[in-house]
Amino acid sequence: MGRRKVKMDIIHPHAAGIDIGSRSHYVAIGQTDSEVKEFGVFAEDNEVLAKWLKQHNVKTVAMESTGTYWQNLYLVLQEKGFEVILANGKFTKNIKGRKTDVQDCQWIQKLHTLGLLTGSFLPDDQTEQLRTYCRQRTAWLNQGAAVIQKMQKFLRLLNLRLDVAVTDIAGLTGLKIIDAICKGITDPKELSKLVHRNCKKSPQEIARALNCNHRQDLLFGLKQEYETYKFIRVKIEECDNHIKIFIDQHFNQNPELKELEAPKKIYKKRNKNAPKNMDLNQISYQYFGGVDLMTIEGVSDRTVIALMSELGPQGFKKFPTYKHFTSWLRLAPNNKISGGKKLSRRVGKGSNNVKIALRRAANVIGNLKDSHLGQFFRRIAYRKGRVAAITATARKLVVIIWKMVVEKVPYNPPEPYLFRDQKRSKMLKELKKKINKLNISPMELGLNISNLE
Hey, what's the torsion of the CAs at 298, 304, 305, 308, to 10 degrees? Answer: 150
CATH number of 126-250: 1.10.287
- Distance of alpha carbon 101 from alpha carbon 18, whole angstroms: 9
Whole-angstrom CA distances from 273 to 97, 123, 224, 287, 414 are 51, 25, 22, 21, 32
pTM recorded for the entire structure: 0.83
Confirm if 220 and 181 have CB atoms less than 8 A apart: no
Is residue 212 within 8 A of residue 192, CB to CB? The reply is no
Closest CA to 228 of 337, 171, 151: 151
* pLDDT score, position 189: 86
**CA angle (104, 106, 107) in 5-degree steps:** 65
* Closest to 267 measured CA to CA, from 300, 291, 302: 300
Rounded Cα gap, residues 77 and 51, in angstroms: 10
Distances (CA, A) of 408 to 12, 244, 403: 36, 26, 6
**Element (H or E) spanning 176, and its range?**
helix 172-182
Answer for the pair 137, 229: CB distance below 8 angstroms, yes or no. no
CA atoms within 13 A on the CB side of 44: 0
Backbone angles phi, psi at 344, to 5 degrees: -160, 145
Residue whose C-alpha is closest to residue 121's, from 86, 153, 163, 171: 86
CATH topology of domain 15-113: Nucleotidyltransferase; domain 5 (3.30.420)
Whether 315 contacts 291, CB under 8 Å:
no
On the CB side of 101, CA atoms within 13 Å amount to 14
Left if phi > 0, otherwise alpha if psi is -120 to 50, otherwise beta: which for 163? Answer: alpha
pLDDT in single tens digits along all 453 residues of the chain: 466 776 778 888 999 999 999 899 999 999 898 999 999 999 999 999 999 999 999 999 999 887 889 999 999 999 999 999 999 887 787 766 668 889 899 999 999 999 988 888 889 899 999 999 999 999 999 999 999 999 999 999 999 888 888 888 888 888 999 999 999 888 888 888 888 777 777 888 888 888 888 899 999 999 999 999 999 999 999 999 999 999 999 999 988 988 888 888 766 777 788 888 888 999 999 999 999 999 998 898 999 999 999 999 899 999 999 999 999 999 988 877 777 787 777 777 778 899 999 999 999 999 988 788 998 999 999 999 999 999 999 999 999 999 999 999 998 887 666 666 666 777 778 877 877 777 777 667 666 655 544
Cα–Cα distance for residue pair 26/19, rounded to 1 Å: 5
The ranges assigned to domains in the chain are: 15-113, 126-250, 258-406, 420-452
Q: What is the pLDDT of residue 452?
A: 46
Neighbours of 386 (CB within 10 A): 14
As beta bridge partners, residue 61 has 16, 84
